[in-house]
Amino acid sequence: MKNFLLGLLILFSSCTIQKINKSLKNSEPLQKGHMGFMLLDPEQNKVLVDINSDKYFIPASNTKLFTFYTSYSVLGDELVYGLNYLERGDSLIFWGTGDPGFLHPDLDNQVALNFLKQSNKELYLLDNFEQVDAFGSGWSWDWYNYYYATERSAMPIYGNVVRFKLDEGQNRFSIIPKRFTPFIEAKKTENWNGYRFRRERFQNLFSYQLDEETHSDPFETDIPFVTSAEFTAQLLNEELGKKITVIKNANYIKEDPKKLLTTPADSIYAQMMKISDNFLAEQLMLLVSDQLNNKLSTSDAIEYSKENLLADLPDEPLWVDGSGLSAKNMFTPRSIIALLGKIRAEVPLEKIKAYFPAGGESGTIRNWYKADEGQSAYIYAKTGTLSMSNALSGFLITKSGKILHFSCILNNYALPSSELKRELEKTLYLIHDKY
């Protein structure tokens, strides 16, 4: 009887896998581009579905899975080192580690601010900003006005953005931080290209236009500002009420600095993963580099990860930034599956659920992949979206209690992303329901 039941189970599973393959391969929308898909049952170490899993695809924000694993492995899940400093006589020399939490409008970490405020020494900001390019390799120059391309920097402050916010019932929007108020003007133009707010390309001068019919609707918009050591010193001066002198020659510091613990890593990971925050992803790679060698270099952090953490992946990652904004990033689905296995082995499930978007519940998939009424989320996965790429990779919990690993990357589709998501939603629910 036992062997008979086992045979039935194997037959049932085989039929289910055939249905899953048919669902993907016979989908008319999914045949209109290039698809990579892999589904793994890690318990049995069995590949259930494999469609072009050995081919390279542009992963978009699935790149953040690599950033997350690298950061979690190097930085841990507690506090990150948010400030480097040296004390020399009556002077305190400090410089950035890439920590994005310093007065960030959502993370709002003031540990470094209070440290500098309480010091009775002369304050000197060491200019290591030249170590960090504002934009990543392969980014487009005309993204400067969008939050998703917020400038990377050695010592971010306020998240390197100005936040414009109109709350329910208010008739004037607020500006955070308020010091930018004098640099904003109203403009009326027929050629606004859909922006409510915009910035001059090379200057921190902002303008806005609000539609008369919708100007009372609540909104929150973050616009990046242009960063520099001098501007950061000026902003710090205003926050601290203390003079900040910029030291331009960063090379004369030879000894290892002291490091100040600041922002909880958990809060950075959760926001980066759930809302696919590109700025936080980029800054995490700088934090990794700083911790490894007291230098800010995304490429150094990537090389370290590839050599020491990811050398056993099936295919070498072609990896150039932390966020996935660059179309130069290319990974194979089977390497992402291998990475998910590493994450599952090293990160507790409750933390995965806290960090990853949950289908029908939170983050970038709160409106997709909903569970049956009264049931918990069955998809915990990272999305990825560029004009040429849609991706979803993560963990799928079946009704039978199995946790499966899946990766789907869709490139070169001339279709709305919503149409692709609907097709994928059907397949993932079938897996959840039947396997």
Lowest pLDDT segment from 66-75, 192-201, 310-319? 192-201
CA 68, CA 281: separation in Å to the nearest integer?
8
pLDDT of residue 11: 43
Band (5; pLDDT cuts 50, 70, 90): very low
132-151 average pLDDT score: 97
Task: Say whether 381 sits in a helix, a strand or coil.
Answer: strand
Write out the two tokens for 138.
Answer: 């392969």
Nearest C-alpha neighbor of 69 from the set 402, 322, 408, 418: 322
Residue linked to tokens 């609540």: 218
Strand order in the sheet with 389-397: 46-51, 34-41, 403-411, 389-397, 379-386
pLDDT of res. 95: 97
- Does 259 have pLDDT greater than 60? yes
Contact 288, 304 (CB under 8 A): yes
Looking at per-residue confidence, does 345 or 254 come out higher?
Answer: 345
Average confidence (pLDDT) over 164-180: 92
What are the tens digits of pLDDT across the range 55-77? 999 999 999 999 999 999 999 99
pLDDT digits (tens, 9 = 90+) for 260-299: 999 999 999 999 999 999 999 999 999 999 999 999 999 9
247 forms beta bridges with 126
Q: Are residues 74 and 288 in contact, defined by beta-carbon separation less than 8 angstroms?
A: yes
**DSSP state, residue 361:** T
Q: What is the largest CA-CA distance in the chain?
A: 83
Residue 104 pLDDT grade (very low, low, confident, very high; cuts 50, 70, 90): very high
Q: What is the mean pLDDT of the chain?
A: 93
Pairing verdict, β 122-126 and 244-247: parallel
Q: How far is CA 66 from CA 54, 147, 179, 259, 348, in A?
A: 18, 22, 37, 25, 17
Tokens of 379: 């998809």
Whether residue 10 is predicted with pLDDT greater than 60 in this model: the reply is no
- Give the residue carrying structure tokens 């953005």: 161
Cβ-based neighbours of 424, under 8 Å, separated by 6 or more? 392, 408
pLDDT at 9: 40
State what percent of residues in the chain have pLDDT above 70: 94
Q: How far apart are CA 91 and CA 88, in angstroms?
A: 5
Q: Model confidence at 31, in pLDDT bands (50, 70, 90)?
A: very high
- Position 215 scores a pLDDT of 64
- What's the confidence (pLDDT) of residue 243? 97
Give me the mean pLDDT over the 16-39 stretch: 89
Residue 433: predicted pLDDT? 95
Query: Model confidence at 254, in pLDDT bands (50, 70, 90)?
Result: confident
pLDDT bucket at 250, cuts 50 / 70 / 90:
low
Query: Cα(first)–Cα(last) distance of the chain, in Å?
Result: 22
Q: Please check the confidence at residue 3 and state whether its pLDDT lies above 60.
A: no
Tell me the pLDDT tens digit for each residue of 401-433: 999 999 999 999 999 999 999 999 999 999 999
pLDDT for 195: 67
Token pair listed for 435? 């396997």
Stretch 184-210: mean pLDDT: 83
